Amino acid sequence: MKWNLPVNGKRESDIVWIDLGDLGDLVYPQGPHEQWQDHGLGLLRTIMHQNGLKTDIVSTRAVTSWEQLAPKLRGYKMALMNVRSYTFPVALKAAQIFKEINPDGLVLAGGMHATVAPEEMAEAEAFDKICQGAGEEIILDLVRDPESFPRVFLGQGSRTMADWPEIDRELWPKPANWKEALANARPRRAVRAMKLERNFNWPMEPECGWGPPPVATIITSRVCPWQCVFCNEASYIPNMGRRPVSMVIDELNALDEKYGVGSVVIHDSMFFQNPKWLQEWIEQYPRRANKLWPYWAAGRADTVRQWPELFTALVRETNWNLISIGFESGSDRILKLLNKECTEEDNNFAIDLVNRIGDEMVAEGKEPPVFWSNIMLGIPGETDEDAFKTMRMLKRMKRVFPSISYYAPYPGSALGFQLIAEGKSLMSKDNYHRFPDDEKVKGVNYGFYRELLAGQYDAEVNRGLTDEQQQRGYEGMYQQALVKA
């Protein structure tokens, strides 16, 4: 039998992890975020390797066509994958290819999509075992004896993240080898692959404009307790103790000593929760971390307003310099509809506070904090005036990276389930995959939003704003800020 090497090196096992994402994302990525590594895969693969279950890795992101993927999967007895709704189409195709060339092979799948849409997974014959929920406490038993599990079953997570091992980052996929890219892609793309390989900093992650490379992504908490109707992950991820501050710092220091760390991305859905933990972070991070690395992390406007001193101390003392806030909308009507539990006033409070802290820091000769501002447009029920208010809110922010997306009805969320049930979702199972400007819900006038982002309604948006605010977001800038969602 002809054995093709997996993307990242020698074949060492008859079990393969298939890392999922759009074809080519690790060859000639469209944007930085597609290059980020999967902590679910990293965690489970680390647990397996530490317990003697060696695996190989193949990534759909490191090839540019299905024809390239197929030979890399030949000869394996088992494939594992972490399926999210946005990777479901890729997962399905990869599983089907795997089964075609390894008819006796088994595909074991878990992840968010398996958790929230198990019936969609079960419909596809290619998935032999489907694990809903967390997998860290069952992965070893599952791989050793898959037949002892029913086809669809509930996994088991750790009680606390303190029980998770540090991810062995060398188990993450590498960016594509440029020579392989040259053999398979057009020369210009191979040049991009070469640049990517050089700048990726594997097994750390690449720079994405948020902070200096190499970037360390980490997760300190697992679940956000709020219930926004477009997200509400608390309804499908069980609560779990946060990783102790000391473990987070030890891990960053160890990564720094081994690979070097330039900046940190804290991938928690909600970093700014649990004041006791945050207070400890303020006390320990500046003292114990090898360096006060700047970091990206997420918060909410209402809690910024509730705990302004804590927030200010985090920004000033721990170098939280990229503050992701899910503002979503600048209109109370829409915020209510989303069950965001934040008001226009909360949003304005957070904006004014960060603007002020930024001005003070500039005056002190320091780097000011910047918002990563999550905004949704095209929410069912949104009026033109609601959308103008949202854009107006964005223009109040002095220093901001806007991250704008059209609302996407993901399964798992209350509003997503409702729109799917009403037949209004345009996100079909073969098109969960999102592009920034595609249309996601029936009845939404996307033409209006495209024009809005292109600056055609600037006169309405600028109403009531100061001259300085009006200058912000030059024509077309918000259009470029539209992200894949």
Which DSSP helix (H) or strand (E) runs through 179? helix 178-184
Task: For ligand B12, give the closer residue by CB, 263 or 355.
Answer: 263
If binding is defined by CB under 6 A, does position 411 make contact with ligand B12? yes
Distance CA 396, CA 311 (A): 19
237 binds, among ligand SF4, ligand B12, none (CB under 5 to 8 A by kind): ligand B12
Could you tell me which stretch among 53-61, 80-88, 273-281, 331-339 binds ligand B12 (CB under 6 A)? 80-88
Q: How far is the CB of 121 from ligand SF4 (least distance, A)?
A: 23
For ligand B12, the binding residues in 20-49 under the rule CB under 6 A are 33-34, 36-40, 43-44
Q: Is the CB of 66 or the CB of 307 nearer to ligand SF4?
A: 307
Pairs from 117-123 (Cβ < 8 Å, separation ≥ 24): 117/85, 117/88, 117/411, 117/412, 118/152, 120/88, 120/411, 120/429, 121/83, 121/88, 121/152, 122/151, 122/152
As a whole number of Å, the end-to-end CA separation of the chain is 41
Interface residue with ligand SF4, options 78, 116, 130, 228 (CB under 6 A) = 228
> CB-wise, 58 or 270, nearer to ligand SF4?
270
The answer to whether residue 113 forms part of the interface with ligand B12 (CB under 6 A) is yes
Report the nearest approach of ligand B12 to the CB of residue 452 (Å).
19
**Which amino acid appears at position 355 of this protein?**
N
The one segment of 167-175, 221-229, 314-322, 345-353 that binds ligand SF4 by CB under 6 A = 221-229
Sorted by sequence, the CB contacts under 8 Å of residue 61 that are 6+ apart come out as: 19, 20, 21, 22, 23, 24, 25, 26, 27, 34, 35, 173
**Contact criterion met (CB below 8 Å) for 251 and 166:** yes
Burial class (CB in 10 A: 0-12, 13-18, 19+), 213: middle
**Those residues with Cβ within 8 angstroms of residue 410's Cβ, 6 or more apart along the chain or in another chain:** 85, 116, 230, 416, 427
Mark 274-313 with x for binding to ligand SF4 (rule: CB under 6 A) and - for no binding.
--------------------------x-------------
- Tell me which of ligand SF4, ligand B12, none is bound by residue 29, counting a contact when its beta carbon lies within the kind-specific cut-off of 5 to 8 angstroms: none
Encoded tokens for 475: 């024509």
Q: Is residue 231 within the footprint of ligand SF4 (CB under 6 A)?
A: yes
Which member of 226, 272, 295, 410 binds ligand SF4 (CB under 6 A)?
226
Determine if 484 is a binding residue for ligand B12 (CB under 6 A). yes
Segments of 231-338 assigned E as strands? 263-266, 295-299, 320-328
Q: How far apart are CA 387 and CA 404, in angstroms?
A: 12
Is 233 or 305 the residue whose CB approaches ligand B12 more closely? 233
Q: Are strands 263-266 and 129-132 parallel, antiparallel or unpaired?
A: unpaired
Contact between 142 and ligand B12 per CB under 6 A: yes
Our finding on whether 131 is near ligand B12 (CB under 6 A) is: yes
Please classify residue 4 by burial: count the beta carbons closer than 10 Å to its beta carbon, then call 0-12 exposed, 13-18 middle and 19+ buried: middle
> Applying CB under 6 A, which of residues 204, 237, 270, 377 lies at the interface with ligand SF4?
270
**Residues at the interface with ligand SF4 (CB under 6 A):** 224, 226, 228, 231-233, 269-270, 300, 326
**Residues at the interface with ligand B12 (CB under 6 A):** 33-34, 36-40, 43-44, 80, 82, 84-86, 108-113, 116, 131, 134-136, 139, 142, 155, 157, 219, 222, 231, 233, 237, 267, 269, 405, 408, 410-412, 434, 483-485
